[in-house]
Amino acid sequence: MNVKVVLKGSEDRCYEVHCSAGLRHFFVEQIEKIHPGKRLFCIWDERVYKTWKDSSLGELENLTWRSSEERKNLSTVETLGRKLVKRGLDRGSVLIAVGGGVTGDVVGFLASIYMRGIPVVQIPTTLVAQVDSSVGGKTGVDLPEGKNLLGTFHQPSWVGIDPEFLTTLPDNFFYQGMAEVIKTAWLGDEELVEMLRNQHDQIKARQLKVLEEIVYKCVSVKARIVMADERESNVRRVLNLGHTFGHAVEQASNYSIPHGYAVAIGMRCAGLLSLELGKISPEDFATLEWLLKIYNLPVQIPEELSITKILSGFYSDKKKRGSDLIFILPERPGRTSIYTTKDLKLVEKTLKKAHPKFQNGK
């Protein structure tokens, strides 16, 4: 299954996303067709390397790193960059990111600035990365003040997705990825929403045929949005469904809450705000909430997080414009809207509806 991403501008600003079980055995063959004669160099998440180094990528030069949100910073980029210099990589080299979303973000960012920019290939191995972060060219690292505050748009030259990587993914990482699947389905594929409702047993059992179809459908939605708005000036902002609330929750927890779980909480908060504003029906909100729960995702803010601390996180969100907060609100399946507000009291009211401390008359 292939999806072609064609961006505005010259013809070389396009690339393909290939999705197929067993594709890992042909990664090098595919990349060499796109970059004949180039020096190919892999940067692996070390945990992925231990499990999957028998793929064709194992033949290539490589280095490994232990990816984590805590290491997603400029210090790591400098460390990796200096290792590339010592290994003699030049402007004729191609970096290949093998791992989850953090690895893709860091290696993509490094590729965008190394020798003023070299090509990058994305080989996503987690569900989050396969359905979302590997497509679209966003790269970046965190600052203490917030997530992804330093970054670039650097489109990959190719994306290779093998759903078999997902068979060894720990349950918590798999279900975090399902938050992004639900988000993407709600954005633009009503049929995928129905599939998530009707085939949840097969999906949770990680049946390859079903996983391949889910990944392909999500990539198709993401590619369509990226082609319409590469740099998030308007349309692409809908991909942030659940992220304005989610990033604030994530930051308030000092990143102890994994990104996928924070997005799930954020989607329910966005649904509650949409319900308050009359943009989503109670029935559709119930469907969204049911999907989050059936895929073992949290829907409440942890009791130990204060509303005040969460609210402070909105001010460092890169999606805001001046004093305006921007929320993506779910409406019916396959439809969302952009909502801009300065009304922090409305946001606080929404957060309280999702916080156990303020429920049941507490």
Q: Walk along the chain (362 residues) and give the pLDDT tens digit of each residue.
A: 788 787 776 556 789 999 999 999 999 999 999 999 999 999 999 999 999 998 889 999 999 999 998 999 999 999 999 999 999 999 999 999 999 999 999 999 999 999 999 999 999 999 999 999 999 899 999 998 888 899 999 999 999 999 999 999 999 999 999 999 999 999 988 999 999 999 999 999 999 999 999 999 999 999 988 888 888 777 888 889 999 999 999 989 988 999 999 999 999 999 999 999 999 999 999 999 999 999 999 999 999 999 999 998 887 665 555 678 999 999 999 899 999 998 999 999 999 999 998 876 44
Q: What is the pLDDT of residue 315?
A: 73
Own/partner pairs for 356-360, CB < 8 Å, 24+ apart? 356/300, 356/301, 356/303, 357/303, 358/307
Measured from the Cβ of residue 123, the count of other Cβ atoms closer than 10 Å reads 31
Q: Is 309 helix (H, G, I), strand (E, B) or coil?
A: helix
Q: What is the pLDDT of residue 13?
A: 73
Please tell me the distance from the alpha carbon of residue 61 to that of residue 54, in angstroms, as a whole number.
Answer: 14
Please tell me the distance from the alpha carbon of residue 316 to that of residue 120, in angstroms, as a whole number.
Answer: 29
Q: Is 342 exposed, middle or buried (0-12, 13-18, 19+ CB in 10 A)?
A: exposed
pTM flag (> 0.75):
yes
Give me the phi and psi of 76, to 5 degrees please: -65, -45
Measured from the Cβ of residue 176, the count of other Cβ atoms closer than 10 Å reads 26
Domains of the chain with bracketed CATH: 2-169 (3.40.50.1970), 232-358 (1.20.1090.10)
Judge whether 24 and 55 are in contact, CB under 8 Å. Answer: yes
Nearest to 332 by CA among 264, 263, 260, 275: 275
Nearest to 351 by CA among 227, 202, 236, 246: 246
- Return the H-helix or E-strand segment holding 44: strand 39-45
Report how far apart, in Å, the C-alpha atoms of 188 and of each of 8, 60, 183 are: 21, 38, 9
Provide the token pair at 24.
Answer: 């890992």
Measured at the CA of 25, the angle between CA 23 and CA 30, to 5 degrees, comes to: 70
